[in-house]
Structures are given as structure tokens and as C-alpha cells.
A and B are shown apart, each in its own frame.
Chain A
Amino acid sequence: MSFVSLGFLAFLAVLILLYYLVPKKGQWILLLAGSVFFYAFAGWSALIFIAVTALSTYLAGIYIGKLAADRDKYIKEHSAELDKEAKKAYKAKVKKRTYLIMSLCLLLNLGMLAVIKYTDFGISIVNGIFRTNIGFVHFALPMGISFYIFQSMGYIIDVYRGKYAPEKNIARFALFVSFFPQLLQGPISRFDELSKTLYGPHKFDWNKFARGAWRVLWGYFKKVVIADRMITAVLALSGEPEKYTGVYVVALVLFYAIELYADFTGGIDITIGVAEMLGIEVAENFDRPFFSLNITEYWRRWHITMGTWFKDYIFYPLSVSPKMLKISKWSREKLGQAIGKRVPVYLSTIIVWFATGLWHGAAWNFIVWGLLNCLVIIVSQELSPLYTRFHKRFGFSNTKGYNVFQMFRTFWLMGFIRVLDVYRDVPGTFRQVWSVFTTANWGNLFSGSFLKLGLTLSDFIAVLAGCAVMFTVSVLQNKGQVRDNIILKRPVAVRLVVFVLIALLITIFGAYGIGYDAGAFIYGQF
């Protein structure tokens, strides 16, 4: 069930009504039922995969928790008999078993993800290398599988690490895995954070409800008015790469940046807003990323929960893993301190970005996209002493103007890397980007050819106006939430009228229905 459907709005209205009518203790059960219903719309077969993830992770968590509890009990009961070494040995023995359980759980779930998502990619590689002609299997990707598996994997790793106790109630755990607002495109929540509010009880709170509703409205504005309109031009420009070179590639970079931002942040706004209307707090996933001064900052502000997931569950464990420590030692010895200390960090960084690329999709363009991000980050880090010297020497480095330049630079750099998503063809993307420097067709900006991309002048004006609103809101967010500082301070009547007016504007200016391919969120495919 897409967020951009009447079915979803009806489902949400009924669910919210029931949520505040049922006894408080039953709220989370209703949410679970709602989530199963929501997920079942994607097909009953898809339910099997999420059930396998929920059940396997739950059981692994319970078992790990039991082993840890038994270990603590044993040590407590035998503290007099056991010396320090014996205790350490016993703990190591238990840890080995918990590690095995965690690994099996990870293997099962990541294996499932790998088979479903990456089999065809693997086949294409085998066919390419060995000149074979193995047929593709074309598995249908269950909705949100990358998100719920990563969320569950984060949980089991945390339980293994003893960060928190495992959830004992399987139904409660199933809700954590399947909580419907975040099924489509995240964010990738952490159990200890989400569980604080997920299970209630929640008394109806007008202020929270209103804040959530405003956030949902804002999400729909971005998704339906901007993203779903912009997609027409993006598809037109990327669909005929031979025709649209030079200035059109620059336009595509800009259009796709707008579309992706409005689409993904819009979806996350709807997710967070819906959760807020239910009294539940979901992690933020964006912090105005287009205001980032550099790519490292950009990745701290874009898809935050994915970035922190990779950092916490891959980068850090990898950096301190015995093998990496060995590599570190070896590289310091062989390559010297200066270079040697960088090797494990950069190796971990490369692996993380490779995995990030692969997580986004089973295709070379995503892998190259991840590695290009990695390359820019590493180069930036290597050049940072130069930057520091430069900034010290020239006074303008700390001016607002220079900051704007940095934002502009980061925006376009990320934009050009991002078009790999759109062309989905690595050499083709490089050819297209190269054409920006070799094709002198900037005059087409004023030739009216942009009006042949499926968007009328009115559509472009609507997008421009939408972007102006998005930009203004982002600037205002420098001083905190616009909802809290501006909207929710107004009298109720004014707020209601403005809310309704915006809803009407979305109804009119939204790009939906016959002639528009609205609905699917870009990140839903990952």
C-alpha cells in the first residue's frame, strides 16, 4: 500500500480512530494488526519473508539473552569457586556460543536478502566472466526487505553486545520489525530508541497529533507536488541519453536532486508524522543535507539512520576486528606510521561504502556510486591539511559567501555522483557527465526544448514555487522547527484554515492520477 493512495489515507484514518478508542493496553496489538494488514497489501507471500526475519531474530535474541542470563547466574552462584581466569574462560565460552547464534541469525537473514536481491546480479557477473548464459531468476523484492532486515540485524547485534535485553514478547518484537510507517523506506530504527514509545500506552494528545498531522501534510506536499512532478522530466532526460547531453545532463543532475530529496524526505516526513500522530517517536533521517559544506557532513545529514547503522555495525567492528588490527600492525611496519595508520581506516571505509552501494541496489552503478562517495571522502581527508593551510592564509574562508560556495560545490558534486542512480549504466553515466564539458548546447536552456520533457511551463512554475517553499522552510529551520516556532503558535482557527488550504493546494497541484506515475517512493526500491 503506497503512502500516496486513497487506500492508505482511509487505512490511516480508521487505524488512528481505533487506536485512540481501544483500551490503551491494546494499542500496540492494533498497530501490529495494522502493520500486517498494510504489509499484506504487498502480497501475502511477502509476509513470509518478514515473518522469517522477525521469528529468527526474536528466537536468536531470546537464546542469546538466556545464555547471557545463565552465564551471569552461573558466575554469581560460583563466584567463590571461580578465580578470575576461570570466569574469563567461562565468559569467553559463552560469548563464543552467543556469537555463533548471532552469526547464524545474520547469515540466515542476510543470506535471504542476498538470494532475493542479488542472485540476478551474481548471475550477470558469472555470465560476464565465464561467458555463460545462465538464465535470470527475477525474484520479486519483498517490500522494505532491506530496511527491516537491517533494523533486525542491528537489534540482534545490540543484544549480542549486551546493549539491552532481548524483547521477550514475540508479538511486541514483530511490531518492532514491521511497524508500518517505516516499512517502505525506513528510517532504520534502533530497538532501544523506538521501543520507548512504540508500545504505549498513548493517551490522545492534541498537540502531538497536530504536530504529526502537519508533518504528514508537509511530506505529501514534497512528494506529490514536487517529486512526482519532477520525475516526468527526470525520466525523459535519462530515457534518451544520446539525445540529452551537455546542458541536459546538468539539468538532470539538478532535477534528480530535487526529485530525490523531495521524494525521500517527503516519505520520511509522512513516516515520522504518522508515528507522531500515534504518539510514537521515530528517529530523524535528515538534517537539511543540501546545506552541507562537504561530503562528509552531507552523509551525516542525509539518510542518517543508514549512515549510523553502517558506522555502528560495520565500520567500527571492522576497524577493531582482529584481522584489521593485524593489517594495521603490518601496514605500520611495512609502510611507516603516516601511511600505515591510514590503511585500516581507509580499508574499512572502502568496505563500508562498497556495502552501502550494494545495499542500495544489485547493480554496478550502485557499487560505483558508493565507491565514488568513498573516494571523495578519502581525498577530502587527505587534502584537509591543505585546506586548513588555505583557510588560515585567506580570510574569506569563514565568510558566509564561502560557505554558500561550499554548499553549492557539495550539492553539485553529490549530484553528479548521484546520476549513476538514474542512468543505471556506469560507462554511460561517465559519457553523459563528460558531455557536459564537450557539448556546447547551453543555448537550449532558452530554446523551449525543456518544455518537451513532459512538463509544461506551469509544471515548472509549480516545481519552482514548491522548491522556493522547501528552501524557505529549510532556512527557517535554522532557528528550530517551523511547526513549533511559527505554525503551532497561531490560534487554532488560523491553524486549521491554513492546514486545510495547504491540503487543498496539494489536491490541486499534486501530480497524481491518470497521466502521472505517482506513488512509488524511490527509496522503496532499495
Chain B
Amino acid sequence: MKALKIIIRIAAALLVFALGIWLLQRLLVPKYVTENEEGLLVKEYYSYAGGNDVLFIGDCEVYSNFSPVRLWQDFGITSAIRGSPQQLIWHSYYMLEDTLRYETPKVVVFNVLSMKYGEPQSEAYNRLALDGMKWSDVKYRAIKASMTEEEADSEALTVASYVMPILRFHSRWNELTGADFKYMFGTRQLSHNGYVMRIDVKPVDTIPKAAPLPDYSFADVCWDYLEKIRTLCDRNGIQLILIKAPTLRPHWYDEWDEQIVKYAEEKGLCYVNILNEVETIGIDYTTDTFDAGMHLNLSGAEKLTKWFGTYLKANTALPNHRGEAEYEEKWIDRIDYYNEMAEAQAKQLSENGKLDGYWGD
């Protein structure tokens, strides 16, 4: 048999296989539109990458609490959030490295809560943080750094499953819903430059007393990554601001705070524990949180953002881009979508008494 004929046959089989895998992958990977919606965040960044002067990195304490649209509207500051659920500090570092492939912000705001986690917490959160990241050596290093013990046991398969997520999500064949078919080739936009909006209210009732810890020191790996974040910012001429977002749970211990204060002083960084500014900001935990103090709702986020905008103006040299056509054009659609979502949620809330998802439909 002629070699060419054989090559054509094998190539044809491989091509059909690749096409089949691609289609099945589109079907089987989670769409994040009916649950774990925050899984959309990391991928969405690439649609608003470029021209952001401020970059927030961290977990839900940033993507639920800061509104880039409000920062733009009130201060002319362009910003984006690269957040993901339970984003650990190494995720944040690689998020920053990845961002630098697309833009160089002037200020990076890092929420220090993740300093408390010295080791990978769960595979699910790794997927939420890394699946959406575009392929590059940064992503590869992020995967390697983030693996849980179980993932590390089959390292090659784990890495391969980020290249071909079907290797991870193939067993979803028995969980498929209509949404998997509907959003097979495209999904919905969740965030507003990384901000995840919720307008409903669940007031804080009681704040359980935090149990004392046997050891308050942060893990070495966290300090290493914090230092890497600082160095990376330094190298790129970026001002790093450390914050602790004003959420009541999980508890932020004074002993932790002292270590961050000391570090910030040593490195000449701005650090603001916003928990100490709650009264100044005017956050009311009976109206400004949607889950009893873990995250702020739209009202709380807008209050916090307004205060933080002022803080940024005072502590950085960020420009006001309002009036610049290039920026205005970009932000007009974002403002519209922001308002639409707020209205849709308000409508659903008034009709049903509760929110079913973020889109209000």
C-alpha cells in the first residue's frame, strides 16, 4: 500500500477524532451559567483587557466588593478585577503575570486574605481559577504551582486536562442540562470588568467569635509569593497596594494584620485594612451584604468603591480618563450592561422575592 494512502487514512482518522473531541469538549465542559457562575470570570478578563490603570487581584473579597464601573463613573479611573473564588496567593501572582502579557496597570490592588492559605485547598477552585486562563507558559507554571496532592499524583494527566478539559470533565455526560447545549458555542457575560453584582440583602445577624489559633504566622510559601508579587510590580513600575476587604467572615485576626502592617512598612507599601474604615465608608451590614457579611451587595460595593476611589486619588497618581473619547466609548456599553443587570435583578427580586442567578432572568 502506498505510504501516502496510509498517511491520508491515519490523518483523516486523527482529524475526525480531533473534531469529535472538540465538539464533545464544548458540550461537556461546565458552562457556569446555572451554577458556579464565577467560573466565567477569569476567561472574561480577555474581553476587557487593555487600558486598565488599576488591577485588583484576589478572591471573592475583590470581585464582590469593588465596582470598576463605579470607579470609572465617579473618578474616571479605569480598572479591572482578576478575581476567582478562593483565589490563593499563587493564583493571584500568576493572574498578575498573565495580565502583564496584555497590559501594564499603574496600580495593583491585592487583597491579603489569601495569605492565610499555605497550601492548595481544592481542585475545584484551581479549575475555577485556571481553566479560563489563556494558554502560555504562565498558565503552565500556574497549574504546576497550584496542584492539590491528588492532582499532583497524576501530574501529566492534570496538565493535559487543562489543555484538553474533556479529560477532566468527560464524566459530566450524566449531568448535562439544556444549558450545556444552549451555551455550547458561547456563554453569557457575568461580570462588569470583573465585578460580580448581587443586589439582594441578607443582613448580618450574629458574628460568631473567632476561635484563637495555635499559630498565627503565615506560611513561607505565602510570603514568597507576596514578595514575588511585589517584585514583579516593582520591575514593571507598578504601585502595589495591599488591602483587606471589609467583610466580616472569614475572620481577619489582629495577629495577621500586624504581620502585613510590618511587611508593608518594611517594603514601603500602602496597606489599608478596610475593616477599620467601615464606619467612615458607611457600610451597614444590615443592608449592604447579600450573605450575612461574607460579601457586599451592590449597595455595599458602591459605597466601598466610592471610598476606595478617594483613597486611590489620595495615594496614587492615577489619571482621570473621563472625557477621553477612546475611554468613554469603551465604558458606555459597560455602564449600560451594569445598569441593565441591576434592573433585571431588582425586577426579579421584586417579583420572586429572591434572585435566581445573576442575570435576573
Contacts and interface: CB of A to CB of B under 8 A. Distances in A.
A504 B20 contact: yes
A513 B17 contact: no
A514 B151 contact: yes
Contact of B21 (A5, A458, A507): A507
A453 to B, nearest CB: 16
B263 to A, nearest CB: 35
B238 to A, nearest CB: 36
Interface of A: 5-7, 204, 206, 456, 458-459, 492, 496-497, 499-501, 503-504, 507-515, 519
Interface string B168-193: 10110110000000000000000000
A519 B9 CA distance: 30
A519 B156 CA distance: 13
A503 B16 CA distance: 11
A500 B123 contact: no
B1 interface: yes
Contacts of B333: none
B294 to A, nearest CB: 27
Interface string B12-38: 110011001100100010000000000
Interface of B: 1, 3, 6, 9, 12-13, 16-17, 20-21, 24, 28, 123, 150-151, 154, 156-158, 160-161, 166-168, 170-171, 173-174
B16 A5 contact: no
A-B pairs, top 6 by smallest CB distance, nearest first, are: A458-B174, A504-B20, A500-B16, A496-B13, A500-B17, A508-B170
B209 to A, nearest CB: 37
A513 B161 contact: yes
Contacts, number: 66
Contacts of A504: 17, 20-21, 24
Contacts of A459: 174
A512 B170 CA distance: 9
Contacts of B166: 507-508
A204 B6 contact: yes
Given A510-B170, A513-B161, A500 B20 contact: yes
Nearest to B17: A500
Contacts of B171: 511, 513, 515
A471 B21 CA distance: 28
A6 B21 contact: no
Given A508-B24, A508-B173, A514-B123, A6 B156 contact: yes
Contacts of A6: 156-157, 160
B288 to A, nearest CB: 38
Contacts of B6: 204, 206
Nearest to B16: A500
18 contacts: A5-B157, A6-B156, A6-B160, A7-B156, A206-B1, A458-B173, A459-B174, A492-B9, A497-B16, A508-B24, A512-B157, A512-B170, A513-B157, A513-B170, A513-B171, A514-B154, A514-B161, A519-B154
Contacts of A5: 154, 156-157
Given A514-B161, A514-B168, 12 more contacts: A6-B157, A6-B160, A206-B1, A496-B9, A507-B21, A508-B28, A508-B166, A509-B170, A509-B173, A510-B170, A513-B154, A513-B157
A204 B171 CA distance: 37
A458 B9 CA distance: 35
Contacts of A496: 9, 12-13, 16
A508 B169 CA distance: 9
Nearest to A497: B16
A206 B156 CA distance: 31
A206 B6 CA distance: 7
Contacts of B12: 496
B28 A513 contact: no
Nearest to A210: B9
A507 B170 contact: yes
Given A6-B160, A206-B6, A500-B20, A514 B13 contact: no
A36 B157 CA distance: 23
Nearest to A511: B171
A507 B24 contact: yes
A507 B172 CA distance: 12
A509 B171 CA distance: 7
Contacts of A503: 17
A508 B167 CA distance: 8
B13 A499 contact: yes
Contacts of A513: 154, 157, 161, 167-168, 170-171
Contacts of B16: 496-497, 500
Nearest to B150: A514
A513 B156 CA distance: 10
